[in-house]
Structure 1
Amino acid sequence: MSSLFLIGTTASNLYLFRKDFILSCRQRGIIVYTLISEYNDEWIEKIKSLDAQVLTYNLSRAGLNPLSDIKSMLEIKNYIKQYQPDLVFSFFTKPVIYGSLAAKLAGVSNIVGMIEGLGSPFTEHPNGQSFKMKLVQFFQVSLYRVVFPFLNKIIFLNNDDPKDLIISKKIYHRKDSIHVLGGIGLKLEDYPYSLWDTTSNISFVIIGRLLVEKGIYEYLAAAKIVKLKYPNTSFKVIGALDTQNPSGLTQQELNQVIQSGIIEYKDFTNQIAEELKNTSVFVLPSYREGVPRSTQEAMAIGRPVITTDVPGCRDTVKDGINGFLIPKWDVQTLANKMIYFIENPEQINIMGQQSYLIAQKKFDVIKVNKKLLSILNI
């Protein structure tokens, strides 16, 4: 293999989550062309610093205009015709669909898609799914029925997703094409293990895009309960708005959360390791995930985790060992588990050490990339 196309969406996501994969490919002498649809000069330069080529294309991640999506597909096809890659490797829903279709139309023989989570259309909400999300799911599944039969490999991060998508929806696919990676992994030295300072006040943090389905409202509601009993406890929220996601918080909703005074808010930051080091417990009451990167980061640093017993999240926590699994949407149980750490602070470092050991075993990017490269036959 001499070259590959890596098709994603946002430049920041591609750099942060594909950096080590790109470097591994470059070390093997493979030319990597990265295709991105949301970017600025800073992130483009960061990708180029990996000795990767950057190509930009137009794509609306949340748009429902089929003509616009077809135009995106043709744009990708033209790039493929021009550069003739040996492998087209796409990730996230629209790139997997339209990037793979473009590769097929361009005559590429080696096409791989990675589904890093089934996303909003497959995520249950407490009041049920909206008609719009049901419609989006229908169209996504219909398009997967077209694409999956010709994909050489279909990679998932957890064991639940292929069951809920391919098996449940009876989507035809090539024999032995399904693979489970188990998490994209991270460079552990970037998230050095550290003991929590037992002289500090107890603090909790949630990190990620500000989406309803990440459990931001459950986190806030639980924080209110805990604050009544332990007012010195701090609750942090770190993450940016995602206005293209249909379940993303609006600026007005974010302002209301901040004005409540319950939480300390910080926008997206490159200092995640430092933020986690200065926090006692990581919390992610998500409705569904692939395998959450933020949880892996917290575990590597040595922090216990409170998360939901749902696809993806349950792959990170051994209940009662390195944290707690709670039922989704259960605010009271979430608050109770937070209070457990406040009343038993010695458990923070005890469970945090177990998080660290699990991260070393499961989420070391060197091990993960070795597995991914093997799946891709690189």
Structure 2
Amino acid sequence: MKVIICLNTAWNLVNFRAGLIRALVAQGHEVVAVAPHDAYADRLAALGCRFVPLPMDNRGTHPGRDGLLLWRFWRLLRQERPDVYLGYTVKPNVYGSLAAHWLGIPVINNIAGLGAVFIKDGWLVKLVRGLYRLALGRSARVFFQNDDDRQMFVAGGLVRAEVVGLLPGSGVDLTRFVVAPMPVIASEARQSTKSGDMDCNGADAPRNDGHKFRFLLIARMLWDKGVGEYVEAAQLLRQRWPQAEFCLLGFVDVQNPAAISRTQMDTWVAQGHVSYLGVSDDVRTHIAQADCVVLPSYREGTPRTLLEAAAMGLPIITTDAVGCREVVQHGHNGLLCRPRDAQDLADKMERMLRLTPAQRAVMGINGRKKMEAEFDEQIVIDRYLAAVREVVGQQPGLPRR
């Protein structure tokens, strides 16, 4: 088969869909990866697929530019004539799907997260809902990454209940993201787990052993990722916890209405409360150097960075919000805080600071077990391969129609 897989950035394809692309290629399918060209586009060839650049305005909602994008999708799909179209992120899901439907190409969508648009109400939400209703109405399969989003789309009549499915996010590669060795602490932790879930009350006083305890937030630098609340929490904690450091890793000035500017980031760093680590092609090194990964997002599909941190045995702090709460069992493998509440986030971060290393290691071990049981990337890949076969009417070992 020929499979087109489309996202809003080549970076997204390389970092989140490499496993699926490799699996499709391994089964003998021709895979065409479609996205705007960026610095990561050249890496797609190593996955065995062909890259086709498609410009799209990821930041705006200008009707003229979006109309042009719809025409570009239609022209591309008419030329390529794939057996199935896999769409991810808003504009490929909407405009790519509409073009595929017009050309009679089966469509599999993935609603990875609804982003800033669905957090607020207003005319833009109504417009996006209407576009989703048009785009998903004829899709063969629509995958969601959390049950809240699935229920909202079905209840709102945006998608038919019989075509929806639920995935554990994009999954995590458990062979790449492994627990960093901590022999003494891990040994203590294994002893602690025998008594069940840990007590999160922790120590009564801050540690004073000179260790620089590192909190790390990994995300695109967007306001709705809770970056502002994270910086405010750091400001609240710095005086009481001088041995703690608060780091940020991810792109600034991205094409998104909620983007945080480089100027704003430079201002925060100059104030001395947080450190900006830039971007990384391999976050494993940064996760291994952290003590706790934090993501105070307002809403997610299922955040990949939290899956990766948990797979590497780190405790995590995130919000009791759609898509985030699925990753954390409060007090077991991390802590949940209230969304948009810097004080509550600071309280949870301080609670993490007051735990002993062995107690945090217990959380890390619990997180790794949760990833193995629920979020293995192979689960996602297998469901996609099955969906592709079903959608195009092809069974293993049978010829193409």
**Which TM bucket (shorter chain)?**
over 0.9
Equivalent residues in 2 for 1:218-237 (5 A)? 218-237=229-248
Distance in structure 2 (CA, Å) of the matches to 1:174 and 1:22:
27
1:353 correspondence with 2:365: yes
- What secondary structure sits across from 2:239 in the alignment? helix
Distance in structure 1 (CA, Å) of the matches to 2:23 and 2:221:
31
Asked whether the equivalents of residues 121 and 134 of structure 1 are also in contact (C-alpha less than 8 Å), the reply is: no
Distance in structure 2 (CA, Å) of the matches to 1:359 and 1:242:
31
User: Counterpart in 1 of 2:112?
Assistant: 116
1:106 correspondence with 2:103: yes
- What secondary structure sits across from 1:155 in the alignment? strand
Distance in structure 2 (CA, Å) of the matches to 1:251 and 1:344:
34
- 2:347 partner amino acid: N
- What secondary structure sits across from 1:247 in the alignment? coil
User: Counterpart in 2 of 1:177?
Assistant: 163
- What secondary structure sits across from 1:376 in the alignment? helix
User: Counterpart in 2 of 1:364?
Assistant: 376
User: Counterpart in 2 of 1:156?
Assistant: 144
User: Counterpart in 1 of 2:33?
Assistant: 34
Once the two structures are aligned, what percentage of the paired residues are identical? 28
Q: Deviations over 1:2-47 (max 9, x none)?
A: 111111111111111110000000011010011111423xx22210
- What secondary structure sits across from 1:297 in the alignment? helix
TM-score (norm 1): 0.92
- Structural RMSD (CA): 1.7
Asked whether the equivalents of residues 181 and 372 of structure 1 are also in contact (C-alpha less than 8 Å), the reply is: no
Deviation at 1:144, TM superposition (A): 1.4
Equivalent residues in 2 for 1:53-72 (5 A)? 53-72=50-69
- 2:389 partner amino acid: N
Deviation at 1:138, TM superposition (A): 1.6
Asked whether the equivalents of residues 172 and 377 of structure 2 are also in contact (C-alpha less than 8 Å), the reply is: yes
Deviation at 1:145, TM superposition (A): 1.9
TM-score (norm 2): 0.87
- 1:170 partner amino acid: G
Equivalent residues in 2 for 1:128-147 (5 A)? 129=120, 134-147=122-135
Residue of structure 1 aligned with 2:271, choices 244, 260, 265: 260
User: Counterpart in 2 of 1:9?
Assistant: 8
- 2:19 partner amino acid: D
- What secondary structure sits across from 1:49 in the alignment? helix
Distance in structure 2 (CA, Å) of the matches to 1:63 and 1:216:
22
Deviation at 1:221, TM superposition (A): 1.2
- What secondary structure sits across from 1:306 in the alignment? strand
Asked whether the equivalents of residues 88 and 103 of structure 1 are also in contact (C-alpha less than 8 Å), the reply is: yes
- What secondary structure sits across from 1:34 in the alignment? strand
User: Counterpart in 1 of 2:194?
Assistant: none
Residue of structure 1 aligned with 2:89, choices 84, 87, 92: 92
Distance in structure 1 (CA, Å) of the matches to 2:247 and 2:62:
37
Asked whether the equivalents of residues 154 and 160 of structure 2 are also in contact (C-alpha less than 8 Å), the reply is: no
Residue of structure 1 aligned with 2:284, choices 255, 259, 273: 273
- What secondary structure sits across from 2:266 in the alignment? helix
Deviation at 1:175, TM superposition (A): 4.7
Distance in structure 1 (CA, Å) of the matches to 2:374 and 2:37:
31
User: Counterpart in 1 of 2:79?
Assistant: 82
Deviation at 1:62, TM superposition (A): 2.3
Q: Deviations over 1:191-230 (max 9, x none)?
A: 1212558684321110000011111111111112221111
- What secondary structure sits across from 2:286 in the alignment? helix
Structure 1, 215-224 or 338-347: larger mean CA deviation: 338-347
Distance in structure 1 (CA, Å) of the matches to 2:181 and 2:338:
28
Asked whether the equivalents of residues 341 and 347 of structure 1 are also in contact (C-alpha less than 8 Å), the reply is: no
- What secondary structure sits across from 2:131 in the alignment? helix
Distance in structure 1 (CA, Å) of the matches to 2:11 and 2:360:
32
Q: Deviations over 1:307-358 (max 9, x none)?
A: 1000110010001100111111222222122222222223211101111111
Distance in structure 2 (CA, Å) of the matches to 1:134 and 1:91:
24
- What secondary structure sits across from 1:70 in the alignment? helix
Question: Quick one: structure 1 residues 243 and 271, their matched pair in 2 at CA, closer, same or farther if it must change by over 3 Å?
Answer: closer
1:376 correspondence with 2:388: yes
1:20 correspondence with 2:19: yes
- What secondary structure sits across from 1:275 in the alignment? helix
User: Counterpart in 2 of 1:186?
Assistant: 172
Distance in structure 1 (CA, Å) of the matches to 2:47 and 2:338:
41
Distance in structure 2 (CA, Å) of the matches to 1:342 and 1:65:
46
Q: Alignment length, in residue pairs?
A: 364
Distance in structure 2 (CA, Å) of the matches to 1:251 and 1:319:
34
Distance in structure 2 (CA, Å) of the matches to 1:228 and 1:372:
49
Question: Quick one: structure 1 residues 259 and 339, their matched pair in 2 at CA, closer, same or farther if it must change by over 3 Å?
Answer: same
Asked whether the equivalents of residues 154 and 161 of structure 2 are also in contact (C-alpha less than 8 Å), the reply is: no
Distance in structure 1 (CA, Å) of the matches to 2:372 and 2:254:
35
1:329 correspondence with 2:340: yes
